[in-house]
Amino acid sequence: MTTPVSSSSGASGAAQDLNNGLAQMAQNSQTFLTLLTTQLQHQDPLSPLDTNQFTAQLTQMTGVEQQLLGNQLLQTLVTEQGLSQGANLIGKAVTAPGATSSDPPVTGVVSAVTEVNGKTMLDVGGTQIPLSSVTDIFNPSPASGSGQGA
């Protein structure tokens, strides 16, 4: 018997912003290097430009690029950690509050884990609940193994 553990194709807002930032940084870096190369090719050899400013700008752009890449790796790690935590709950009974304050709590056995828009979701009796909203985890009794949500 296999139990699905998957990730949705939709990226979270933070991940999308990060990807946009990386794309823009790559474009800005390429533009900067093109301008630098052109300026160095056309400078007066008897009066060369001060390269300290170019070096400082290149260093700053590289630093920002490394920070964006570090953020991307951290986002991936957080997503994978959430999926791993959720996968450890498969077969366990959990309780979480209802969708609204007037709804009864959802209690049942976790049967699947997915990632939806950056959030780890547990399938409890056909109901999707965020991992972050789980208030109680326990071993199911043999009679409650069906995973029915309240």
Output the pTM of the full model.
Answer: 0.56
The average pLDDT across 2-16 equals 50
Q: Is the pLDDT higher at 78 or at 30?
A: 78
**Above 70 in pLDDT, residue 149?**
no
Amino acid at 141: S
* Percentage of the chain exceeding pLDDT 70: 79
Average pLDDT over residues 89-98: 93
98-146 confidence digits (pLDDT tens):
888 888 999 999 999 998 888 899 999 999 999 999 999 999 887 654 5
Supply 127's token pair. Answer: 């109901």
Average pLDDT over residues 82-104: 91
Residue 2 reports pLDDT greater than 50 = no
Domain 88-144 in this protein, CATH class: mainly beta
Q: What is the pLDDT of residues 47-72, one digit of tens each?
A: 777 778 778 877 888 888 888 889 88
> What six digits make up the tokens of 134?
């789980």
- Give me the residues paired with residue 115 across strands: 7, 120
Angstrom distances, CA of residue 47 to CA of 42, 52, 66, 67, 80? 11, 15, 34, 36, 55
**Confidence check: pLDDT of 75 > 60:** yes
SS3 for the chain, per residue?
A: CCCCEEECCCCCHHHHHHHHHHHHHHHHHHHHHHHHHHHHHCCCCCCCCCHHHHHHHHHHHHHHHHHHHHHHHHHHHHHHHHHHHHHCCCCCEEEECCCCCCCCCEEEEEEEEEEECCEEEEEECCEEEEHHHCCEEECCCHHHCCCCCC
Listed by start position, the domains of the chain span 11-41+50-83, 88-144
The pLDDT-based confidence of 9 (bands split at 50, 70, 90) is: very low
Query: Would you say how long the chain is, in residues?
Result: 150
CA-closest candidate to residue 82, choices 2, 1, 145, 12: 12
Whether the per-residue pLDDT at 32 is higher than 50: the answer is: yes
Task: Specify burial of residue 105 (Cβ count, 10 A radius: 0-12, 13-18, 19+).
Answer: middle
